Amino acid sequence: MKQLLFSIALMFSFTGFAQELGGGATIEFEKEVHDFGDMKQHGDASTVFTFKNTGSEPLIIENAKGSCGCTVPQWPKEPIAPGKTGEIKVKYDSKRVGPINKSVTITSNATNEKTKVIRIKGNIEAAPKEETSPVKKASTTAPVAK
């Protein structure tokens, strides 16, 4: 039993030591929060989060999941080589009015952060009624019946 516990402790120390030496993939983001500020309803609420694999092994993004259906991430499916960069594109459905504070949870094989959360925030202001009305305005060049 003592040998088993010693073996397990030794394994964890080697794993930690290997990570300190730069073993495995690591992920570093240029920014972790994007602030849209004030924007109009139905506007383009999309942004890009750039990251770099600062480790010694290929980085694999296994999944990226928005905190709700209105926040949709796209991530690279191919491994990111050591020293290379990748992008996670995040699009928010800006039809809702009011403050936004949403997150995207990223899971990867990174040794420094297997689970990473990036965020978007801002405020969506209502668009003027004429921009969102499904009724067409009467044309000023149309013939008029007499």
Q: Give percent of the chain with pLDDT exceeding 70.
A: 73
The CB-based long-range contact list for 64-70 (8 Å cut-off, 24+ gap) reads 64/88, 64/104, 64/105, 64/106, 64/107, 65/104, 65/105, 66/90, 66/102, 66/103, 66/104, 67/102, 67/103, 67/104, 67/105, 68/102, 69/93, 70/96, 70/102
Tell me the pTM. 0.73
Q: Please write the tens of the pLDDT for every residue from 29-50.
A: 999 999 999 999 999 999 999 9
Q: Please write the tens of the pLDDT for every residue from 117-126.
A: 999 999 999 9
Tell me: pLDDT of 83 over 60.
yes
Q: For tokens 């044309």, name the residue.
A: 139
Q: Please write the tens of the pLDDT for every residue from 45-69.
A: 999 999 999 999 999 999 999 999 9
All structural domains of the chain: 23-127 (2.60.40.10)
